[in-house]
Structure 1
Amino acid sequence: MQLDTDSTQRSAWQYDEPSPGVERFITETFDTYQQQARLLIPDEERAPPLFVVGGAQSDFTRLNPLLYRLQALGIGSLTANLSGHSLASEPGAREPSLTTNREEALRFHRHIAPRCQTVIGHSLGAAIALKLVAQQTAVDKLILICPAVYPDSAHNAPFGPAFKSAISKPYGFLDCDSFEFLRQFPGRVLLVVGEFDGLNSEHHGQGAGTSAGTLWLAGAQRYSPIPEEVTRSLLKSVPPPHLECLLLANCDHGIAAHLRTTPVVADQVAQTVAQFILADS
């Protein structure tokens, strides 16, 4: 594994912020393009590095408010840029899809796979993380942050109109083997959700089994793209002894932005996540 000390893509990052410790970069060459991942290395390691799968329209800096705090707490992480989601991942694969992203993530994950015990999936990245962890017997902790789940048939659909059409069928997300995977998963799951995400769509004028969308609620505009039934199905799929939940008050789907603007909350979330990772490790 070649670790570079700097990134030639830095000018394209969403957030160019100093890390609280060492950062290194890994470049992988695919058929016609390259992608890069960032490894955050703590000064004193307390747990093996996490693998992080980011959400739509994000690069490996989007979760800095959480990952930097974990690094300062002794927990490193490897996060990859995935095709179709950010300026830092361009040009990337032609017609990328969830399947493309999973293959890219697996390629990067192999660099830490022998030691990696924890995977984080954020939003769209949670759908990818669930598929990835199903292939990794060493992973025994899964952290899902405002998680999305999509029908299995959507994973090969190129991002854009085809993907949107594939995920728009009411209750279509139930046709996904990730729920069965969670029922059989022997490890532990931490579910982190915002108070105003996963809202009941019918209560807000939308059809059942779909997203409540963007709405004005409790004095502010809220974004709730995750159907309530997705969150409920995830909760039902994980055996209670293996499940922990963290609900963030006054927060919608934009958890990364919420952590960035409320550092006290970010501190608390990082402490909770660290405790989950370090328990029994």
Structure 2
Amino acid sequence: MAKKTDAREAAAPAAVRTAFTVAYGAHWLHGSTWGRTAAAVPRLVSLHGGGAATDHRRMDYLLQPLAAQGWAGSAFDFVGHGATGGSLLGSSLADRQAQAQAVADHLDLGAARPPLALIASSMGGHTACQLLDALRPRALVLFCPAAYTPVAEHQPFGPAFQQTLRTTTDFADALAWAALRRFRGRLLLVWGAQDVVIPPAVIQGYGQVATAARSVDVVQLPGAGHALHAWLQAQPVAALALQQRIAALLAAAEQD
């Protein structure tokens, strides 16, 4: 017997993915926008982390349902990742900030028409914070965000950069934190209880420096490590709960 379709289920809007490219130096940055239509204007911008196997499609499990609820979102592959390709070596934190700004400009997002939220992971969390003053989002969702001292900002990715990370123990002058101290929107921090990549000082620091934020919420996921998105995609109940929490944050930010 065929399944009877509930009228509300049939009327529920779907989300469609539309690919885009943005010229950046010798590269083309490849990305996607999720929206109810192909012409939807993104209100969320997602920035992935620095893992070699990471790409922007890893956030589809969150961006797709949020878009179906009316919050269109975009994400892209940084140089050295996914469809953008190229070499990760030789890029830098500062270069990633410039790449993200190029995508924001392409999407016509900025202080005059700010995104509702930035959603970022690991190294992308640092980049998102660096963009707060330029893009002025009302909400910021950070998954296991990393922090870096100013000396690492322009160092090309490679052995010297890794050595700087290994020897850094004091993050008080982290550029991401300087920007986050000025942030007046809503902040949601998501950590894995078993994260052994991000130093405890960074985990504690992110929650402490957002002193001007309208609200600061922290979600700690028991059993999860640093690879939060892979863990969440294998835990649909936890993923749905987090998606609902992000949706509530976005709804509140819209009213601010």
CA RMSD, aligned part only?
2.2
Counterpart position of 2:78: 82
- Partner of residue 32, structure 1: 26
Matching residue of 2:166? 168
Whole-Å separation in 2 of the counterparts to 1:226 and 1:121: 15
- Given the superposition, is the C-alpha separation of residues 178 and 151 from structure 1 closer, same or farther in structure 2, using an over 3 Å criterion? same
Please state how far the C-alpha of 1:115 moved relative to its aligned partner: 4.4
1:279 paired to 2:255: no
Deviates more, 1:231-240 or 1:257-266: 231-240
Counterpart Cα distance in 2 of 1:141 and 1:149: 19
Rate the CA distance shift 1:94–1:149 in 2: closer, same or farther, 3 A.
closer
| 2:206 counterpart letter in structure 1 | L
Once the two structures are superposed, residues 59-80 of structure 1 have per-residue CA deviations (whole angstroms, 9 ceiling, x without a partner) of: 1111222222222332221101
CA distance in 2, matches of 1:92, 1:72: 34
> Is the 1:32–1:93 Cα contact (8 Å) retained in structure 2?
no
Which residue of 224, 237, 241 maps to 1:264? 237
Q: Secondary structure at the match of 1:64?
A: helix
Once residues 97 and 172 of structure 2 are traced to their aligned partners in structure 1, the CA distance between those partners, rounded to angstroms, is: 20
Alpha-carbon displacement from aligned partner over 1:121-172 (angstroms, at most 9, x marks no partner)? 11110011110113223x1211111111111211211112121112222324
Name whichever structure is richer in helix by fraction: 2
**Alignment match of 1:225 (pick from 177, 197, 209):** 197
Is 2:19–2:32's contact at 8 Å kept on the other side of the alignment? yes
CA–CA separation in structure 1 for the residues paired with 2:189 and 2:208: 12
Question: Any conservation in 2 of the 1:123–1:147 contact (CA below 8 Å)?
Answer: yes
Amino acid at match of 1:163: F
Q: How high is the sequence identity, in percent, across the aligned residues?
A: 26
* 2:188 partner SS: strand
Say which is worse superposed, 145-154 or 94-103, in terms of deviation. Answer: 94-103
Structure 1 match to 2:186: 188
Structure 2 residue identity aligned to 1:170:
T
Rounded to whole Å, the distance in 2 between the matches of 1:265 and 1:125 is 22
Q: Secondary structure at the match of 1:190?
A: strand
1:173-229: CA deviation from partner (whole Å, max 9, x where unpaired): 3331322322221111111111112xxxxxxxxxxxxxxxxxxxxxxxxxx100000
Alignment partners' CA distance in 2, 1:64 and 1:129: 18
Work out whether residues 27 and 36 of structure 1, in 8 Å CA contact, stay in contact via their aligned partners in 2.
yes
Asked if 1 retains the 8 angstrom alpha-carbon contact of 2:27 and 2:84, the reply is no
Segments of structure 2 that go 5 or more residues without pairing to the other structure are 1-13
Q: Match for 2:143: what amino acid? A: I
Q: Which residue of 1 aligns with 2:7?
A: none
Distance 1:93 1:191 in 2: 27
> Is the 1:23–1:39 contact (alpha carbons within 8 Å) kept by the matching residues of 2?
yes
Partner Cα distance (2:176, 2:237) in 1: 33
Kindly provide the CA deviation profile for residues 78-133 of structure 1, in whole angstroms up to 9, marking residues without a partner as x. 1011012x242212677111111111110101214124121111111001111011
C-alpha contact 1:150 1:172 (8 A) present in aligned 2: no
Q: Does 2:104 align with 1:105?
A: no
The equivalent position to 2:64 in structure 1, one of 62, 68, 74, is 68
Q: Is the 8 A contact 1:47 1:277 kept in 2?
A: no
Residues 40 and 78, structure 1, Cα contact 8 Å, conserved in 2: yes
Moved more, 183-192 or 167-176: 167-176
For 1:128-147, what aligned pairs fall within 5 Å after superposition?
128-137=127-136, 139-147=137-145
Provide the TM-score with structure 1 as the length reference: 0.77
Task: Name the structure 1 match of 2:6.
Answer: none
For 2:22, what is the secondary structure of its paired residue? strand
How many residue pairs are counted as aligned between the two chains? 233
